[in-house]
Structure 1
Amino acid sequence: MILVLLFGFEKLLGNTRFGGEENQSVRHIRLKENTPNIDKMLSPSDDIVALSDSLENKPYSFKIDQNGFIFPSTTHQQADKVIAFLGGSTTECMYVDEDKRFPALTGTLLETNSGKKINALNAGVSGNNSMHSINSLLNKIIPMNPDIAVLMHNINDLSILLHEKTYWNNNDHRSLLVTEDRSIKAMLKQLLPNTYNFAFEVKRKLLGDGNEFENADHGNKQPRLSNEKILSLFKSNLDSFIEISKANNITPVLMTQASRFTEKPDEVVMKNLQNLEAMGLSYPEYRSLFIAMNQVIRAVALDKSALLIDLNQAVPQTKEYMSDPVHFTNRGSELVAKIISEKLTPVIAH
């Protein structure tokens, strides 16, 4: 009975709108960033803990400044150098201690090594792919006048291109364009977020968890993109990132992505890849694609004379450094900060 009422109420609100037909929706470009001006203690969910084997289950400080960067960011009013880090959750480092998240720690190490004042901006956001980062570069990074922009992408691009077959999709969470709903349902979601989220949570628990890609318009209905097409689309974005950076007097840096995708995967890796069969992929095929994506990063950096930081080669593929296939532990993040700071020290010396 509760389920029927929830469905009926949601349907009614979703179809009831303010104003005429012309006012039903407005489209805009999605700036996929963490909500500015928040200060929270976040603990990993049971699902996240279950899919890892070295994640410390505790609250983590997660503070976002007024520009959507993860704290600490603009630690100096007048910095000698500004470095922006762009990527997905592996750059965001939500479940890493605040002082050990590699973007901020890189800034600290560079200050120690160089004696210069460094602002390190962490623009990593869970689920972001390279297209989201290009949008962030254009609309929020460039105005900060950074000297260096560091990009790390692989798995999120691979995921969106495997599931949606294009960067330009209608996925509720990762689309590049957003249609602003003007239904009463949408208004209530904005005005009474806690009440709306509670009702949504009840519905979710009654129906069970769903894959965010299952209800996308494209989903798995279309044939999977060829490996060549996936790599070509990814390469185009890397090229764009470098050219946009250079055009704005920003030194671009590309990083490969570290992983635990070994030839013989452990249990945690396979737990995180349970949907491979539905996509018609074996683990060796998926691993080969991930490796190829990193190789594209290396090739583009070489072709465009951009600095490359090869984390894939430098970070051990063990649970001490990554708590699941790709997310860093404290120890992993500290190692990454050390690697990056050593590579960037000569760059910031100029």
Structure 2
Amino acid sequence: MDEQSATDQLNKNGTDVAPVPSRDHDADNRRPWSLAFFLILIPGFFLADLLHPAILNRRLFDVVNNASSHHYDMLDTIDILFAIVLSVAIVTVCVLTLLRKRKLLLRLTVLTYCFAIPIGLTEAFFQLFSIPKLYPPGMVRVVEPKPDVAPGISGPSRMTINHFGLRGPEPHGEPRKILCIGGSTTICTYLDDSETWPAVLMSYLNADSHHTPTCVENAGKNGLDLLHHIEFLKRCKISHEFSDCIVLCGVNDLEHSVRMPRNDRVALAPSHVFDVGGPDYPLTPHFKQAFLYKMFKSAVKRIIEKPEVESDDSEGEFYTERRKERQQATKDYPLPPLAEHCAFYKQCLVSLKNLCDEQGLHLILMTQPVLWRDDLPPELDRLLWSRPIGHTGQALSVESLAEGMKAFNDTLREFCHEANVELVDLAAALPKDNSVFYDDEHFNEDGARQVARLIADHFHAHNAP
């Protein structure tokens, strides 16, 4: 006998019978945890992504802060507020689930995924087909450091990034293209586009009527060492555009060797090179490194500020603070044994040469010139900002810094001799004074011209076409 027949029979007998609930009614009364799961999935992902660097990589934060000239916070105020919003969203979904608000949860789930799926597919497309770039193409940065902060630099300086993601002119079919790779002493942030040594080198070479028309591109970036330069050449996808590769390296290799364990340097190197399209940085949430997030952030910035212009510490307050920090520190941090560090540096030089050979690049290496010397007078010593090591309150003395830099430069000279690689010995040729530098190692306007002249003379001496 089916349910309806049984009910009719009981009603005929005069007995009230409660209706038997249908399966649909049972489903409506169950708490819709399956919907809740899919709805919580997205805010849960963002919350986990936001918190995982602080939870899983706390040691790396300390390592990076010890090595970097900037301090990185695990979570800033906006991160904390976003984490609170995400947590509230998750709690709200749980409350709606307990209240059996199935229809509302269904609408919210459909609405959420209608936005999430197209956004996710668009981001995946960008990730799959993007070409890594050192800087965002079209970026412009303007700085005007105070004269007492950067002696030898005058007026505002404009830094312009071309479609390659490099600092330099757009190529116009020049037969010869030179790629200059290095750290901050190559990018020359405080110098104008026309005043950096790669730009001046291009003007010197093209002024010679016997020299092939040449385009020189600047692939320098603050804080990069030889490990980063190798990663750049591996991933940049544009090396085939160039015939020559000039590399200025050494000072960041010395600094990072003293401040950071080698394994951490190797692990972090791939993610520290490219602003666009490179591997994700482990200390930053993944969603903050997404193309769409960066595009949105850039659009907001253009609305708030002048279009396409960045101004980062435009007056050089960074140097003022770092110089104070060095002056307050004791200069007695012991220089560690350098033999192992120099051996690793030489291994990296071998890898760099092999990579250039594979890509058909003519490699020219340059020693790292610095202001450091044993008899540095007080007025020049005040320009130094090489900061204390970690949280010790101790900094390397100028004598130790000079000794360390000499060891790395000697290693590079030895490698060039053994591997038959062309060398421009800037460290031996340039004076260690403020006619070249405005701080420990960065070139002022005259210094950049002197560097460019030495390189141009090298090209002429080697009968470069």
**TM bracket, shorter-chain basis:** 0.7 to 0.9
Flag the 1:224–1:5 CA change in 2: closer, same or farther, 3 A: same
Encode CA deviations 1:7-35: one digit per residue, 9 max, x unaligned. 74154368899999xx9xx999x967222
| Equivalent in 264, 269, 285 of residue 181 of structure 1 | 285
Rate the CA distance shift 1:252–1:279 in 2: closer, same or farther, 3 A: farther
Q: TM-score when scaled to structure 2?
A: 0.58
Q: Deviation digits for residues 137-168 of structure 1, max 9, x if unmatched?
A: 23336544322111111111122222222222
Instruction: Please report how far the alpha carbon of residue 345 of structure 1 lies from its aligned counterpart in structure 2 after TM superposition.
Output: 2.3
Asked if 1:191 is matched to 2:296, the reply is: yes
Percent identity of equivalent pairs = 19
Q: 1:272 to 1:182 in 2, by over 3 A?
A: closer
CA distance in 2, matches of 1:285, 1:322: 19
TM superposition score normalised by structure 1 = 0.75
Match of 1:332 in 2: 447
Return the offset for 1:279.
6.1
Alpha carbons of structure 1 residues 349 and 267: separation in structure 2 relative to 1, 3 Å = closer
- Secondary structure in structure 1 of the residue aligned to 2:194: helix
Report the structure number with the largest CA radius of gyration.
2
Matching of residue 130 in structure 1 with residue 243 in structure 2: no
Q: CA–CA distance in 1 between the matches of 2:169 and 2:181? A: 15
More helix by share: 2
Does 2:169 correspond to 1:72?
Answer: yes
RMSD: 4.0
Deviation string 1:45-65 (CA, Å, 9 cap, x unpaired) is x7xx76544443x32111110
1:92 aligns with 2:182: no
Q: Which moved more, 1:83-92 or 1:258-267?
A: 258-267
Q: Give the secondary-structure state (helix, strand or coil) at the position aligned to 1:123.
A: strand
For 2:280, what is the secondary structure of its paired residue? strand
Would you tell me which structure has more strand in proportion to its own residues? 1
**AA partner of residue 191 (structure 1):** F
- Unaligned stretches of 5+ residues in structure 1: 199-208, 212-222
CA distance in structure 2 between the aligned counterparts of 1:4 and 1:126, rounded to whole angstroms: 23
Deviation of 1:325 (Å): 1.1
Counterpart in the other structure of 1:37: 138
Q: Give yes or no for contact 2:177–2:241 (8 Å, CA) kept in 1.
A: yes
| Structure 2 Cα separation of the partners of residues 86 and 96 of structure 1 | 17
Counterparts of 1:143-162 in structure 2 under 5 Å? 143-162=239-258
User: In 2 relative to 1, CA 97–225 (structure 1 residues): closer, same or farther, beyond 3 Å?
Assistant: same
Q: Which residue of 2 aligns with 1:59?
A: 156
Q: Are the counterparts in 2 of residues 153 and 256 from structure 1 also a CA contact under 8 Å?
A: yes
Change in Cα spacing, 1:160 to 1:251, as seen in structure 2 (3 Å) is same
- Total equivalences in the alignment: 316
Corresponding residue for 1:205? none
2:358 maps to which residue? Answer: 247
Cα distance change of structure 1 residues 8 and 157 upon mapping to structure 2, 3 Å threshold: same
